[in-house]
Amino acid sequence: MLPNTKIPRARTIEEYVDMVNQAIDETFDLRQSIEFDEEFMADARPLVDQIEATLKEMYESMKDGSYKFATGELPFIALMKQYHEQMVPFRFLLKRINETHMKGLDISDQD
DSSP letter string, 12-34: SHHHHHHHHHHHHHHHHHHHHHH
Of 57, 53, 77, the closest CA to residue 67 belongs to: 57
pTM listed for this prediction: 0.87
DSSP string of 71-88, one letter each residue = S-S-HHHHHHTTS-GGG-
For range 86-97, the mean pLDDT: 92
Question: Which of 16, 88, 98 is CA-nearest to residue 47?
Answer: 88
Domain chopping of the chain, boundaries? 13-103
Averaged over 8-12, what is the pLDDT?
A: 96
Residue 110: pLDDT band with limits 50, 70, 90: low
